Structure 1
Amino acid sequence: MQTMQHSIARPSNELTIPQTQPNLASTWTPLSALFVPELLTEIFKHATLEDLRVYTAVCLQWEEPAQARLLETVHLDDIAQMRYLHTKPTFRRYVRYLVTAVDFDTPIHELLVPELTFSSKDHTPYGRPMNITSWHLVGPVPFRPSKFLIRGINSFSITLQTFHVHDSIWLDLEGFCDLLNALGNCQRLENLALPTDLLFFLRETFEERFSLCEQAFSTRLFPSVDRPRIVHLQLVSTNRRYRLCAKKPMKALHTLWLPHHNCPLSFADTLHLIVGQGEDLQRVLPVTPNLQSLEICCEHPRLWANFNQLLKAPLKLPRLKSLRMGFGQMDALSSFLRVVDIPNIESIKIRYEWIWHPFHSYSSENNLTNVIGEIAKLGAEMSFPELLKEIRLEGSWYTPPSTPVAPPKWFQDVFSAMLSNNVQIVLEQISLGQSVFMKAHDALY
């Protein structure tokens, strides 16, 4: 049987289009891909600030996604940023993180409103919802905060997740209650740093001030049904947290609102706590049952009024996994470890101004020996904590050029118990600038 071959004749006028596969190995990018908004947004996430400023001038298609990245964080004192937002109000919707002074004098709740939209019914203008998720207040401590602070919080209440005051705010009881009520309306608020000094008349005694606080919190605080659940809580200024400048206890009244039944915030889900006074710590612990991370930078525990009682009945933190201690005196570390019950601890960080390298700081030899001895008794029934994996020594120190790299014998002997239990010893040198007031990026969040 002969095979029949059939051929189909193509019309002479038919255009033949060659079928070619795209060359994925080519370094050339299609020109159209350079103007896809989604692709540009993803690319610009990895660009530096200097590059983003260049990209804004490339073309109109690149300006908006580049400016969107540049305007994510807005400093109220940045004249260039504020001028740009004034000339192009449609770009205000890209602002997510706000940094201002505590006593800013600009009605920020009006300034950052995106372009106005008009109602279809009566054509009345209304602003779009704010997109601010984080607000940091920095700078020297003023006598009073801005008069626009409460209105700003109310304007950002739908989206605000972080409210961080880096240095103490001075407020009277009425103003402080207004601030707490405003924060209580921020349903998505999770991260709160609120170091506050309450103002009283000098002639008032401590008992009178305590009574005034109780009366104000009972009559002026109005908790909502769905209170914001705080996850990160900081009750000490950023400056005091890093400088370890607490020397003596203070009769603190600024945290009386925390355990109050009218408190507009919930701390049942708080996982991370930073405190600067022993009294604050003891006041907060009953309302934070799920605490997993604690940082304390306060006065010597022996100065606490109930230190002897705590030796017999230590503070119980059964869920705590991470502990960071910062004291002005090394022996305060041992004293603090004696008054806490943390059997499930996994990481311990010691923050201290060492002056000399910890390996060769002979003045701290005895103190470190005592600290390690107390750590070895943190487990169940005074045993070694089974979950402990890391001890980190943090701080600033000077290392002479002739200093040996290997730790001396006394240091190895001190940490022999740690090494035998597979605990890692880490040294982390931290250097701080000369400025007394920390900047926003020095915060925890």
Structure 2
Amino acid sequence: MPTRILAIDDSETMHRLFKMIFDDNEYDLTLSDNGEEGLEFVKNYKPDIILLDFIMPKVNGFQFCKIVRNELNLDIPILLITSKAEDVGEKFIAKFANIDYIPKPFQPDEIIEKMEEMLGAKEEQAETVQEEEPETPEEPFVSETLEGEKSMSEESIETEYEPSVLTGEAPDLESKIIKSLQPHLRKLIQKMIQLETGYQEAEVKGEHPQLEDLIRVMRNGEGVLNLFNFEKTFSFNFKDGKLFFAKSSKSGVEQISEIFQHVTGVTLFKTDTFAEIYEQLKAMDISDAQIQSTFEYYTYNMINTALNLEESRYFVDENIDNRDIVDSVYINMDNLKSGFSDYLEEKAEINKIVYDDNLIPQAAGQTEGNFSELERKILSLCDGKRNAGQILKFFGNNTQMAKNSLGTLILTGFIKI
């Protein structure tokens, strides 16, 4: 019989994580987002174990435990999940029976192991009590064995050749697929737990941010503004009213490194920080003006993508990585709104041009001068035969940057339609 789990947490992210962790036939998961509703589930659902957040609306963790133990007189194991682990957990253990705690962030394996430990202790206790009770007459030994063998045999016949629910193929194929996905799933869960913990502990945080929220937060102090949902994370390093660097969870500094390589026509070594990219660019005599221009495009594109995340939230982490700060390359908060507005207007105009298959770009004649390597490549492809879509296919992962440059060359007259 599946283990009945009642998980009470007011975070939708934690609900999703619980679903990912307890997604097989071993568990029967019920979710609640507040202590008051959780108490009703305790009465009606009768869980084997309760996973409990400490800070909740309506009825907090302490009040919940007090009602379950003292008023309902239930000895259900309760596993407290909290970022205030030792401060809170030890007090709960001293106050209530059959309770333990696990700190955030935690690994999926850790919470399962802790649950099994608590449930195992309860079973041992139940067996001890049962041994002390008067023995009842046993059924004939042979009868019991035959019945058990019959039950196992029927079960084997029913399940041995049953196709997999997931794949429709043999169960071993499903096992291989699940096994291959587990490491990636574990990393995703751990990442989301860290973000959720950071959000809960942060003093500066909010939901569904707009550009004005980002400007207000980054205008003062320093730190990393993390904007995230269940799928993506964006981090913005700011200090003294300046935005120094932005990156997504998947790309790190790889994306801006690739953009700089296409714009400048140089080859950069793989690095982990923006400061290292900047040092390489300067060593190759790339001007600060060109670095700043490319940095602004990259940053505005990152902000635009981040602001369009669904069900997003944000919080500020004060632990800033100074290796992603270059004193001469940044966006001032006083200029962010106007610069971002110009970026959106230019992007809209460019999209009108590049998505029209009937428009055939052609170089106006001048192909030498103060052009970047990316712009020279675009000019060479504008031969009056290819449309914009065909030209952009040459730029692979940097299509957006090439699109921006193509549109700029059209708007400034170096390419005619």
Pair in the same fold by TM > 0.5: no
Which interval holds the TM-score relative to the shorter structure?
under 0.3
TM-score of the superposed pair, with normalisation by structure 2: 0.27
TM-score by length of 1: 0.26
